Amino acid sequence: MEYLHTMVRVSDLEASLDFYCNKLGLIETHRKDSEKGRFTLVFLAAPLNVDTAKTAMSPLIELTYNWEPESYTGGRNFGHLAFRVDDIYALCSHLRANGVTINRPPRDGHMAFVRSPDGISIELLQKGEPLAPAEPWLSMENTGEW
């Protein structure tokens, strides 16, 4: 069996693509519009999962955008999407500079949490050994949700 993807419904496709691609660094591998079903599916992968020709693509996330507005309030049954990152401090600085709240700052150089525009919890884990504790993260507090 092969793990394919996690599907999350999004209320604002452009805001979600800006978050997942421009800010978090994922790559859109392909998308499908359904006139009949009135929805758009956009498949995203992490750079390590997409070869340069995008031929061997392994989407990890399927964004579902229903054209008719819906309200998505997350159930406790869904936890988070987790990514292993090269430099958690650099990524969190990039996210923070682009207006993303760092809900759980990477004080320990190992783990951070942010949320997508729809409130999907995103876990960021440092590749390899934790980085040395560093400001401003060391003195930053959680936003209270962790």
Ligand X SMILES: C[C@@H](O)C(=O)SC[C@H](NC(=O)CC[C@H](N)C(=O)O)C(=O)NCC(=O)O
| Binding-site partner at residue 9 among Ni ion, ligand X, none, CB < 5 to 8 Å by type | ligand X
Determine phi and psi for 125, rounding to 5 degrees. -120, 130
Which of 37, 119 has the CB closer to ligand X?
Answer: 37
DSSP bridge pairs for 123: 82, 113
| Binding-site partner at residue 66 among Ni ion, ligand X, none, CB < 5 to 8 Å by type | ligand X
x-marked contacts with Ni ion along 56-75 as a string, rule CB under 5 A: ------x-------------
Residue-wise burial string across 80-101, b where 16 or more C-beta atoms lie within 10 A, e elsewhere: ebebebeebbebbeebbeeebe
- Least Å distance, CB 125 to ligand X, is 26
- Least Å distance, CB 32 to Ni ion, is 10
